[in-house]
Chains A and B, each alone.
With several copies, the nearest count.
Chain A
Amino acid sequence: MNSDQNKIMDLRTAIRRFVNAGAHISIGGFTLNRNPMAAVYEIIRQRITGLHVYAHSNGQGVDELVGAGCVSRLEIAYAGSGRFAPTCIRFRKAVENRSLAVEDYSNYQMTLRFMAGSMGIPFLPTRSGLGTSIIDKWGFSAELRKTDPKIPNQKLVVMENPLDGWGDADRVVLVPAINPDVTILHVQTADAQGTVRIQGLTFADVEQAKAARCLIVTCEELVEVDVLRAAPDQNQIPFFCVDAVVPVPWGAFPTACYRYYDYDPVYLNQYRQAAIDDERYRTYLEMFVYGVPDHHTLIERVGHRRLEAIKADPQTGYAVNLDRR
């Protein structure tokens, strides 16, 4: 909770101030859309490690954090980037060589966990997962859970319906609330005070934002307060939830930002090629992350031609007839 009138800061400062080693974090977006990639690359550049990451299907951003060795624990529903990586490659390697502890949930269960956190309640109920391995197989052992006060003692709890079967439900799964130390979103527009307007699908961004103790918002465009106040029905996050506003054009690249630009198939295919080989992946990190001082330089390196190709068409919000093979 923060009512300052001006929360603008540069990305390096925002990450340094709010994302510490071992922090529990979540990032916005879904698979190859509106991941806060500039912030992800800055976290990698600052070599922040031991992160505990909460994700539903956050895709590209999560795979890059895992690939760079920033993450020690991951609670997740889906690790994929659509057709470009049905299973995120660095995620798969990390789990198979057991350098990453994983706890599996479903997308709705993770969404409800963020929602419970945002609502200030300990859990939310669902019928999802009854009878599945998601209920019995715990990635984090009961012992580990007991020793770490930052995670709940139970992965989830199956409970008989205490309302005598009301709602035609004998049994429900209670999934525990998540309150990340920090959530990072990339959005289309925000003002200096922190009011946020997301265009297109919001995914679980709003729940992740309101559940977090601190919220960093990177945005394509910083707009005057009046622009957002004139149509508040279209705003989703009130300024008092926001701690840092960081203007970063192309801040979701190589993932998409609806109405601004599409995902970059070239980058995502190159990433896949690099990800399957450890040596090539090191080279990728050197060239595109450690090797550049900031996101602006990465964008320059990508070059005008490719950026032009993915610019969104104003009618549809994506790049019509983009070659996506």
Chain B
Amino acid sequence: MAEYTLREMMTIAAARQIRDNDIVFCGTGISMLAAMAAKHISAPGSVIFFETGAIDSLLAEVPMAVADPRVMHWTSVNGSLADAFAFMQNRSTGRQVVGIMGAAQIDRYGNLNSTVIGDYFRPRVRLSGSGGACDVASFVGRTIIFMQHEKRKFVNRLDYLTSPGWLQGAGRREQAGLAAGGPSVVITNMAVMAFDDTTREMYIMAVFPGISPAQVLDHMEFKVDIKRAQTFAPPSAAELAILREKCDPQRLILG
């Protein structure tokens, strides 16, 4: 069986979530790598775009930022921030967009904090802030979330709600006035979590090989349903080959 790193498995786990014809909103790092991998593996018709306005970039080299000149080469259109976010807020295009994002804290409904740890006015740790994350989470059809599985990150109460997930549960997004979409999966270093269609609460969909649902729970402040947990099918040799040779040969992201 093929050897692989955890980072590689997480990337493939996200890539498998991307469908053909999705428009994929990417950040930097592992999220961009997942989108590149999906395009080569399962979703050749998917389109990668960036909040900076680059649409369907060639990505001959891995960008180090969403404003990296590498995202501007051989696109369909080089636009602006205003254009990129309007595509997501627009109902017809927005519903086709899947956003890939990360955060410092997540709660049971997939709400995210990427602004501050501790009190907003007396921060223990100040983070980068929303960037486009709040916009994407407000607008698009589906989001895929990357997290490190740690108690201090899977919390009962966020220090700051930067990006809306399912808010306080079923129906709350619509009540708030947000688009119908929301978080689809959370991919961590231990498992893949999903959200219940009726309650919108997080549950364990699959654990990575050698990890037990109980171990996963040990790394979370809140309890989630483990009954649906299956074992994750590890990345295939073919998936790994594409990821390593086509997407990040310099291992800038894979390390």
Q: Which of B76, B87, B122, B138 contacts A128 (CB 8 A)?
A: B138
Say yes or no for A273: interface residue by CB 8 A criterion.
Answer: no
Given contacts A30-B52, A195-B77, contact A106 B90 (CB under 8 A): no
Given contacts A30-B52, A202-B53, A318-B70, contact A78 B130 (CB under 8 A): yes
A201-234, CB < 8 A from B: 201-204, 206-207, 210, 213, 228-230, 232-233
A1:B93 contact, CB within 8 angstroms: yes
B67:A203 contact, CB within 8 angstroms: yes
Q: Name the CB-closest residue of B to A56.
A: B81
B163:A107 contact, CB within 8 angstroms: no
Given contacts A82-B67, A82-B68, A115-B82, contact A104 B164 (CB under 8 A): no
Say yes or no for A8: interface residue by CB 8 A criterion.
Answer: no
CB contacts (< 8 Å) of A112 on chain B: these are 82
Docked Cα-Cα span, A324 to B63, in Å, equals 10
Given contacts A78-B131, A79-B129, A107-B81, contact A131 B176 (CB under 8 A): yes
B134:A129 contact, CB within 8 angstroms: yes
**Binding stretch for chain A, among B21-29, B207-215, B226-234:** B21-29
Interface centre among A56, A108, A133, A170 (most CB of B within 10 A): A108
Given contacts A79-B129, A127-B139, contact A229 B69 (CB under 8 A): no
Interface centre among B28, B54, B89 (most CB of A within 10 A): B89
CB contacts (< 8 Å) of B135 on chain A: these are 106-109, 128-129
B172:A131 contact, CB within 8 angstroms: yes
Docked Cα-Cα span, A139 to B120, in Å, equals 8
Q: Which of A106, A201, A229, A233 contacts B134 (CB 8 A)?
A: A106
A30:B67 contact, CB within 8 angstroms: yes
Q: How does the 8 Å CB contact mask read for B171-206 relative to A, with 1 for contact and 0 for none?
A: 011001111000000000000000000000000000
Interface centre among A82, A213, A259 (most CB of B within 10 A): A82
B82:A240 contact, CB within 8 angstroms: no
Given contacts A87-B127, A130-B177, A240-B47, contact A235 B81 (CB under 8 A): no
B130:A195 contact, CB within 8 angstroms: no
Q: Name the CB-closest residue of B to A316.
A: B73
Q: How does the 8 Å CB contact mask read for A30-66 relative to B, with 1 for contact and 0 for none?
A: 1111100000000000000000000011010000000
Shortest B233–chain A CB gap in Å is 27
Shortest A153–chain B CB gap in Å is 18
Given contacts A56-B81, A133-B162, contact A201 B89 (CB under 8 A): no
A104:B138 contact, CB within 8 angstroms: no
Residues of A in contact with B, size category = 35 or more
Say yes or no for A305: interface residue by CB 8 A criterion.
Answer: no
B67:A31 contact, CB within 8 angstroms: yes
CB contacts (< 8 Å) of B85 on chain A: these are 107-108, 111, 128
Given contacts A118-B90, A133-B115, A134-B134, contact A203 B127 (CB under 8 A): no
A4-26, CB < 8 A from B: 5
CB contacts (< 8 Å) of B94 on chain A: these are 120
CB contacts (< 8 Å) of A237 on chain B: these are 77
Docked Cα-Cα span, A170 to B45, in Å, equals 34
Q: Name the CB-closest residue of A to B120.
A: A137
Q: Name the CB-closest residue of B to A87.
A: B128
CB contacts (< 8 Å) of B65 on chain A: these are 30-33, 59, 81-83
CB contacts (< 8 Å) of B78 on chain A: these are 200-202, 232-233, 235
CB contacts (< 8 Å) of A71 on chain B: these are none
Docked Cα-Cα span, A231 to B89, in Å, equals 27
Docked Cα-Cα span, A297 to B167, in Å, equals 53
CB contacts (< 8 Å) of B89 on chain A: these are 108, 119-121, 126-128
Q: How does the 8 Å CB contact mask read for A101-145 relative to B, with 1 for contact and 0 for none?
A: 000111111011001001111000011111111100101000000
A134:B47 contact, CB within 8 angstroms: no
CB contacts (< 8 Å) of A202 on chain B: these are 53, 78-80
Interface centre among A95, A203, A206 (most CB of B within 10 A): A203
Given contacts A78-B130, A238-B76, contact A201 B91 (CB under 8 A): no
Given contacts A82-B68, A120-B94, A131-B173, contact A317 B125 (CB under 8 A): no
B23:A1 contact, CB within 8 angstroms: yes
Q: Name the CB-closest residue of A to B112.
A: A132
Q: A77-B129, A82-B65, A118-B90 are in contact. List 17 more A-B contacts (CB 8 A).
A: A59-B65, A80-B131, A83-B28, A96-B126, A106-B133, A107-B135, A108-B85, A127-B178, A128-B139, A129-B135, A129-B138, A131-B164, A132-B164, A200-B78, A201-B79, A232-B76, A321-B61
Q: Could you name 30 residue pairs across A and B whose Cβ atoms are closer than 8 Å?
A: A3-B21, A57-B67, A59-B65, A80-B131, A96-B124, A96-B125, A104-B129, A107-B85, A108-B85, A109-B135, A111-B81, A121-B89, A131-B173, A133-B115, A134-B134, A134-B162, A168-B91, A201-B78, A201-B80, A202-B78, A202-B80, A203-B53, A204-B82, A210-B93, A229-B74, A232-B74, A238-B76, A238-B77, A312-B69, A324-B252
